[in-house]
A and B are shown apart, each in its own frame.
Chain A
Amino acid sequence: MPQTVPLSWYLILSAILFGLGVAGFIFRRNIITVFMSIELMLNAVNLSFIAFSYQLRQVDGHIFSFFVMVVAAAEAAVGLAIILTVFKNRATLAIDEVNSLKN
């Protein structure tokens, strides 16, 4: 077993997590699970930022990752409020039953 791993493996892990997030976003029907998949994608991108920050020996990547985290918190607050409103009006959490624009 090797003692250390190259930095590119962190990037591959980030790509795998992002791909899983995309799969969850496309395949899941529950609106809350779709929202959690978005959070997974944001986390994967944060890992990329921090890996590149290590490579360049600069702290700027951490700052970007910090801002992504803050925006994710704001997004979670507003998004969950929207989910609450949708559930109040439609009494469902399945995204393909919320299709008023189609008709």
Chain B
Amino acid sequence: MDAFLFFLFAAIAVACGINLVVQTHPISSALSLIGVMGALAVLYLLLGAEFMAAAQMIVYAGAIMVLFVFVIMLLNAGAETRKSRATFAKLLGVPALIGFLMTVSFLIQALLPRTEPVKFGAFTGGTAQAIGKKLFTEYLLPFEVTSVLILIAILGAVVLARKEI
């Protein structure tokens, strides 16, 4: 069952990822990205990261992607136009990408020959309780710095989106 779920959702993630790169209209790419994020949330659950799976769905697939879709709608973005350069890039880039990925896969398999099999339920340390405890004791300073970062991001977004610039 573990292997079946992995293959199913890995296939969904890769198919949606390819669709993201291939589609010319940005809204199709955005929907594909939501598919990738949903599939990855299931894989996080398989790896015992239940809090991260929930956060992935709420923060990424919910908040960030709504922002993207909102901007696409606001700017009325259409499909991109093709250029003559694009076919050359495809001829050179797709084989290069496939070769690169095969090399990386071979290296991962060769350098990590005996990784353990993933079994659902073997690691249950990813609960909200465990993460909260770590976050407010060991990682308290990065957590506080993150709040400052978000405040600066809000200010930056407001300043950039003003009328005068």
Residues on A facing B (Cβ under 8 Å): 1-13, 15-17, 19-24, 26-30, 32-33, 35-37, 39-40, 43, 46-47, 50-51, 53-55, 57-60, 62-63, 65-67, 69-78, 80-85, 87-89, 93-94
From A21, A55, A60, contact of B115 by CB (8 A): A55
State the interface size on chain B (CB cutoff 8 A). Answer: 82
Interface of B is mostly: helix
Q: A10-B43, A63-B131 are in contact. Are A80 and B33 (CB under 8 A)?
A: no
Residues on B facing A (Cβ under 8 Å): 1-4, 6-7, 10, 13-14, 17-18, 20-21, 26, 29-30, 33, 36-37, 40, 43-44, 47-49, 51-52, 55-56, 59-60, 63-64, 67-68, 71-72, 74-75, 77, 80-81, 83, 86, 89-90, 93, 97, 100-101, 104-105, 108-109, 112, 115-119, 122-123, 125-126, 130-131, 134-135, 139, 142, 146, 149-150, 152-154, 156-158, 160-161, 165
